[in-house]
Amino acid sequence: GQLLLFFKCSQKTQYERMGSDVTMQCGSLDNDASVSWKVNGTDVKAQHRLEGPRLILTQVNLSHNGLYSCFQNPHGERRDTIFLHIGIPPRELTVNCRSNTYPKGFYCSWHQLHATYIPTTFEVDVQHDQRSLEVQKDSVHKNRCHVLFPEVFSSFPYKVNVTAVNALGKASTTISFEESSIVKPDPPERVTATPIRFNPRRLEVSWHSPSTWPDIDSFPLKYFLRYRPLIREQWQHVELSDSTSHTITDAYAGKEYIIQVAAKDTEIGTWSDWSVAVHATPWIEDPLPITSTTEVDPIETTTSPIPSSNAPQKAEPPVGRAARLLTFFSPLLLGMLLLFMW
């Protein structure tokens, strides 16, 4: 039990920069101590050298990551255990802020242009009118935070600073923006396109404003509709004030169309992304049913034999009209012949 406790307490984590030479010290042993090292339970095969109780690895990379253990000679007692993690310090970040819930608030997101390979945390500071605003971390996206607007129609810019921090260093990125420049709604929702009966060139398109937009009455949206037949690559566009429906009147008859809608605050900000595409085809007149003018005897149809193969069937020899007349007049001719002989 005491040995296990010593083992747990003696574990250490060591972070080192990729490409550097790394020295690991075996506990507090003297410089003349003789030790042997293992990584993940096997001998160290990477390029290295030993200097007393120290293991020196040269020009480390990600393959050097692992659990290193040192043992004192000659009896092989374990003296230290070190988790070695190779990484790089943080570098520049890209930071973007957007309000899809105007005028409620906005969110900022960021990502690193270069991987660090080791745990990295982020510190966010938002300033407005010489005071720091409360920042709330996103519950789903680790690289996102939310901020409430302290006021609406502010003339003061916002300044957002994001600092990436890990065991090897830190790096910061700062952006500034006006309130109006980051307003961008989410795309319209539940877009539908319906053909109009007896109108082969029309489609009725309708949609709903994005559910994330909190106050559509006080902050109305305008919409941008685009549509095209699948056979063409050029879009046709219609900009609408605040209506959530539009009738397309110049569709090609019988051609399938692809339709999308975008939204924007009527006064500030930028257009949303396009909605999910919907497909629709204008009304097509149903063809008249085909009726047969040939009468078929149902008895003949039901009693006709079904050929067992595709080979032509041998017909029965017909009873000719002449043969039937000969059969009918035979007794009469015989009587006349007898009378003539008399």
pLDDT for 284: 92
Q: 201 vs 329, which has greater pLDDT?
A: 201
pLDDT for 302: 34
Q: 3 vs 36, which has greater pLDDT?
A: 36
Confidence of residue 10 (pLDDT cuts 50, 70, 90): low
pLDDT in tens, 69-125: 999 988 889 999 999 999 999 998 999 999 999 999 999 999 999 999 999 999 999
- pLDDT beyond 70 at 273: yes
Closest by alpha carbon to 221, among 257, 179, 189, 258?
189
State mean pLDDT over 306-331. 39
Lowest mean pLDDT segment, chosen from 83-97, 173-187, 259-273, 282-296: 282-296
pLDDT in tens, 276-292: 999 999 999 877 676 55
pLDDT for 46: 87
pLDDT for 329: 42
pLDDT in tens, 26-45: 999 999 899 999 999 999 98
pLDDT for 291: 59
pLDDT in tens, 207-250: 999 999 999 999 999 999 999 999 999 999 999 998 999 999 99
Q: 336 vs 60, which has greater pLDDT?
A: 60
Cα gap 70→60, rounded to integer Å: 19
Compute the mean pLDDT over every residue in the chain, rounded to the nearest whole number.
85
pLDDT for 7: 44
pLDDT for 286: 76
- pLDDT beyond 60 at 304: no
pLDDT for 35: 94
- pLDDT beyond 60 at 177: yes
- Highest mean pLDDT: which of 6-15, 152-161, 305-314? 152-161
State mean pLDDT over 195-218. 96
Confidence of residue 320 (pLDDT cuts 50, 70, 90): very low
pLDDT for 144: 96
The overall pTM is greater than 0.75: no
Domains of the chain: 10-87 (2.60.40.10), 93-181 (2.60.40.10), 189-280 (2.60.40.10)
- pLDDT beyond 70 at 316: no
State mean pLDDT over 284-309. 50
Q: 68 vs 342, which has greater pLDDT?
A: 68
